[in-house]
Chain A
Amino acid sequence: MKNQKKTKECHFCTNNLEPDYKDAKNLYNFVNYYMKIIGKKRTGVCSWHQRKLTVAIKRARKMALLGFTHK
C-alpha cells in the first residue's frame, strides 16, 4: 500500500499574497527549527512562489529579521 499524499495548496496562491522579506512572522512558517529553508514538497508552495520565497528569506536574514541559525 502506498501512503496517500495529502493534496496541499500553495499558501501564497490561495491567499493572493507575495513573499515579502519584511514580514518575518510569515517567513517563519517556511523555515526549519534550524532556520533552514523547507522544501516545497513539505510546505506545498508552488515552484513559482518557492523561488520568490527563497530570495525573501535570504534578504530577511541579511537584515537580521530572520536568523541564519537557531540560538
Chain B
Amino acid sequence: MRYLPLTSADRAEMLESIGAASVDDLFVDVPAQARLPGPIEGLPAHASEMAVERHMSALAAKNVSAGSAPFFLGAGAYRHHVPASVDHLIQRGEFLTAYTPYQPEIAQGTLQVLFEFQTQVARLFGTDIANASMYDGSTACWEAILMAARVTRKGKAVLSSGLHPHYGEVVRTMAKFTKDEIVSLNTELTAEPDDAAVIAQIDDKTSCVVVQYPDVLGRIPDLSAIAEAAHAKGALLVAVVTEPVALGLIEAPGNLGADIVVGEGQSLGVGLQFGGPYLGLFGCREKFVRQMPGRLCGQTVDADGKRGFVLTLSTREQHIRREKATSNICTNSGLCALAFSIHLTLLGGEGLAKLAAVNHARAQAMIERLGRIPGVEVLNEAYFNEATLVLPRDAREVVRELAERGVLGGVSLGRLFPVADGLHKGLLVAATETTTAEDIETFATQLEELLVGVPA
C-alpha cells in the first residue's frame, strides 16, 4: 500500500518492543462482538493510482463542465477566471498540509496570510475589521443574525425577499432551534428591490435586517436608506454580498451604513466545485469585535520584538467557552481564504475595478441581446453582472431544454424558489469576464428557437 510506510518487519519489531503478541492485543478494549473479523465487506481491496484515476475520471466525464459550454449561471456561485498562479501557490505543501496555526512560531506563513486576508476583506467591504473566514456565505449570514442578537439583545431578524432563498432556508432551519424570530418576505417579480417592505417591518424588537446586495434577482437595494431606518429603531443592518467582484464597481456596504457585512468569497480564487468548499466572508464594526464569531488573527511581537501574528480573542471560541461560546464553529475555510487573498493580491484595487467593469459590460451585452428576443422581458432597472429575465413560459423547462442543446442557460427561479407562486417564468442569467460574444449569440439563438410561437 503506497501510503503506509511501515513494513511487515517494522510492525513485528514494534510489537515485540511494546510486548504485544499481535496487533489485536492493542484492540482489547473493543468488545469481541464489535470487532470485524476481516476487511469490511463490499469495499474492494486497495487500488493503484491508475485504477482509481480511471474510475474517477469516468465519473467526471459524465458531467458537463462550465468551461465546455456557453455558461450563464450565477445565483450565489460565479465562474471567474482564476489565474494559474493561485492554484500553484495553494498547492505548496507548507500551505496545503499545515494545520490551524495553534503554534504561531512555526505558522507565520498561514497567520500572515490570514492577517492580510482580514485586511483585504475589511477594505473590500468597507468595514473596520473582518474575521479569518467561515464555512460559506449562507452560514456566515446565519452567524451575523446571531451576532446582531447578541449586540442588540433583541431577537427578531427581518430577511429581505432579495436574500438568496437557500440562505433564507439555512437561517429558518437554524432559527427553529434557537427560537429566534425570523420575518421573511415573499419574493416578487418587481423591477425594484423590496426596500420599502423591509423598512416597514422594522420595529423596536428588531435586532437586524438582512439585505443582499446586489440581491438574488440582481437588483440593487438602497442600503443607506435601510441602514438609516434600522438604526433609528436600534437595529443593525446586515448586508450580504454573494458576488464580491461587484464591489469593484458599486459602493462597499460598510460605506453605506451596514453594521455587519457577510458574503460568499467563492468568486475570487475559488472554483465552482459543485457548491463547495467555498468561504464565508465576515466583516463588522470594530466595537463589536468581542461578539464576533469565527477565528481572528491579530498582530503582536515576539520575544525579540519582531512583528508576528497569532490567533487571538480565542476566549470567544468553543474550545475555551464551551457552551458559552459565540459560535460552535471550529474550522474556518483557510485554504479558500488563501486562494481568495492571492487572487485579490494579483488584482489589486484597480484590477478589481477593471474586472468588475468588464463583468458589468458583458452582462449589459448579454441582457441587451436576450432582451431583444420576442417575448423576453428584462426585469431589472439596474444590475451588476446578473439580472432576471421574464420568459413567456416556464423557465425551468427552458433551462432543461437549453441544456439538451448544449447551453447552460442560467438558473430558473422555479429551481431557486420551488414553492413560491408567480416566479416560474423568471430566469436568472449571469455573465462574467469568461463570457464571450459567441457564447451570448449561441445562447440567444437557442433561447429564441425555444420561445418561437409561445404567446407572451
Asked if A and B are interacting partners, one says no
Interface residues of A (CB under 8 A from B): none
